[in-house]
Structure 1
Amino acid sequence: MYEYIFVETTLGGFFTEADHHEKIAEYAKQGWRLVQVLPTHYNGHGKPENYEIIFERPLKG
Protein backbone atom coordinates (compact mmCIF):
# COMPACT_ATOMS: atom_id res chain seq x y z
CA MET A 1 0.00 0.00 0.00
CA TYR A 2 1.05 3.57 -0.61
CA GLU A 3 0.33 6.94 0.90
CA TYR A 4 -0.04 10.01 -1.30
CA ILE A 5 0.54 13.71 -0.92
CA PHE A 6 -0.64 16.51 -3.23
CA VAL A 7 1.52 19.65 -3.42
CA GLU A 8 0.50 22.89 -5.16
CA THR A 9 3.18 24.62 -7.24
CA THR A 10 3.70 27.03 -10.12
CA LEU A 11 6.04 27.00 -13.08
CA GLY A 12 6.58 30.72 -12.66
CA GLY A 13 5.39 33.68 -14.63
CA PHE A 14 6.28 37.23 -15.52
CA PHE A 15 6.79 38.28 -11.90
CA THR A 16 7.38 34.93 -10.18
CA GLU A 17 10.05 32.26 -10.20
CA ALA A 18 9.30 28.59 -10.77
CA ASP A 19 9.66 26.51 -7.61
CA HIS A 20 8.84 23.01 -8.81
CA HIS A 21 12.46 21.77 -8.90
CA GLU A 22 12.98 22.68 -5.25
CA LYS A 23 9.71 21.08 -4.17
CA ILE A 24 10.43 17.83 -6.02
CA ALA A 25 13.94 17.63 -4.51
CA GLU A 26 12.61 18.43 -1.02
CA TYR A 27 10.00 15.68 -1.09
CA ALA A 28 12.37 13.16 -2.71
CA LYS A 29 14.74 13.58 0.27
CA GLN A 30 11.81 12.59 2.52
CA GLY A 31 11.28 9.36 0.57
CA TRP A 32 8.46 10.53 -1.70
CA ARG A 33 8.39 9.46 -5.36
CA LEU A 34 6.98 11.70 -8.09
CA VAL A 35 3.86 10.15 -9.63
CA GLN A 36 2.33 12.87 -11.80
CA VAL A 37 1.98 16.60 -12.36
CA LEU A 38 -1.50 17.93 -13.15
CA PRO A 39 -2.46 21.47 -14.19
CA THR A 40 -5.14 22.83 -11.85
CA HIS A 41 -5.74 26.39 -13.05
CA TYR A 42 -5.58 27.99 -16.51
CA ASN A 43 -5.34 31.66 -17.42
CA GLY A 44 -7.62 33.40 -19.94
CA HIS A 45 -5.39 32.25 -22.82
CA GLY A 46 -5.63 28.57 -21.91
CA LYS A 47 -2.11 28.37 -20.45
CA PRO A 48 -1.77 26.39 -17.21
CA GLU A 49 -0.71 28.57 -14.27
CA ASN A 50 -0.90 26.32 -11.22
CA TYR A 51 -0.03 22.67 -10.90
CA GLU A 52 -0.51 19.88 -8.40
CA ILE A 53 2.44 17.53 -7.93
CA ILE A 54 1.43 14.07 -6.75
CA PHE A 55 3.93 12.04 -4.71
CA GLU A 56 3.71 8.54 -3.26
CA ARG A 57 5.70 6.39 -0.86
CA PRO A 58 5.15 2.99 0.70
CA LEU A 59 3.28 2.96 3.98
CA LYS A 60 5.57 2.26 6.92
CA GLY A 61 4.80 -0.50 9.31
Structure 2
Amino acid sequence: MYEYKYVKATLGGLFIAANHHEIIDKYSKEGWRLVQVLPIEYNGHGKPTDFEIIFERSIDN
Protein backbone atom coordinates (compact mmCIF):
# COMPACT_ATOMS: atom_id res chain seq x y z
CA MET A 1 0.00 0.00 0.00
CA TYR A 2 1.14 3.54 -0.69
CA GLU A 3 0.53 6.99 0.73
CA TYR A 4 0.54 10.05 -1.50
CA LYS A 5 1.53 13.68 -1.08
CA TYR A 6 0.40 16.49 -3.39
CA VAL A 7 2.58 19.62 -3.45
CA LYS A 8 1.90 22.81 -5.41
CA ALA A 9 4.88 24.20 -7.35
CA THR A 10 5.38 27.21 -9.58
CA LEU A 11 7.30 27.50 -12.82
CA GLY A 12 8.26 31.01 -11.92
CA GLY A 13 7.72 34.24 -13.75
CA LEU A 14 8.87 37.81 -13.93
CA PHE A 15 9.18 38.27 -10.15
CA ILE A 16 8.80 34.70 -8.88
CA ALA A 17 11.51 32.04 -9.02
CA ALA A 18 10.69 28.45 -9.94
CA ASN A 19 10.70 26.16 -6.92
CA HIS A 20 10.27 22.65 -8.33
CA HIS A 21 13.90 21.56 -7.84
CA GLU A 22 13.84 22.40 -4.14
CA ILE A 23 10.52 20.60 -3.64
CA ILE A 24 11.66 17.43 -5.40
CA ASP A 25 14.99 17.37 -3.51
CA LYS A 26 13.25 17.91 -0.15
CA TYR A 27 10.68 15.16 -0.52
CA SER A 28 13.06 12.62 -2.09
CA LYS A 29 15.33 12.94 0.97
CA GLU A 30 12.29 12.10 3.12
CA GLY A 31 11.73 8.86 1.20
CA TRP A 32 9.08 10.10 -1.24
CA ARG A 33 9.23 9.03 -4.90
CA LEU A 34 8.16 11.39 -7.68
CA VAL A 35 5.15 9.95 -9.50
CA GLN A 36 3.83 12.71 -11.75
CA VAL A 37 3.68 16.44 -12.38
CA LEU A 38 0.33 17.93 -13.46
CA PRO A 39 -0.36 21.49 -14.61
CA ILE A 40 -3.18 22.97 -12.51
CA GLU A 41 -3.24 26.68 -13.41
CA TYR A 42 -2.69 28.51 -16.69
CA ASN A 43 -2.04 32.11 -17.71
CA GLY A 44 -4.11 34.01 -20.29
CA HIS A 45 -2.03 32.57 -23.13
CA GLY A 46 -2.63 28.94 -22.14
CA LYS A 47 0.84 28.43 -20.64
CA PRO A 48 0.92 26.43 -17.38
CA THR A 49 2.02 28.55 -14.43
CA ASP A 50 1.41 26.28 -11.43
CA PHE A 51 1.83 22.56 -11.08
CA GLU A 52 0.96 19.82 -8.65
CA ILE A 53 3.83 17.44 -7.93
CA ILE A 54 2.64 14.02 -6.80
CA PHE A 55 4.86 11.87 -4.59
CA GLU A 56 4.34 8.39 -3.15
CA ARG A 57 5.98 6.16 -0.59
CA SER A 58 5.29 2.69 0.67
CA ILE A 59 3.42 2.19 3.91
CA ASP A 60 4.74 -0.74 5.91
CA ASN A 61 1.92 -2.81 7.37
- Report TM bin, short chain: over 0.9
Taking only aligned residues, the RMSD between alpha carbons, in angstroms, comes to 0.7
Give the TM-score of the pair, scaled to structure 1: 0.96
**Aligned-residue offset at 1:16:** 0.6
Q: Which amino acid aligns with 1:53?
A: I
Aligned to 2:18: 18
Is 1:29 the counterpart of 2:56 in the alignment? Answer: no
Aligned to 1:51: 51
Structure 2 residue runs of 5 or longer lacking an equivalent are: none
Structure 1 residue runs of 5 or longer lacking an equivalent are: none
Q: Which amino acid aligns with 1:15?
A: F
Identity %: 64
**Aligned-residue offset at 1:60:** 2.6
Give the TM-score of the pair, scaled to structure 2: 0.96
SS of aligned partner of 2:28 = helix
**Cα distance in 1 for residues equivalent to 2:31 and 2:60:** 11
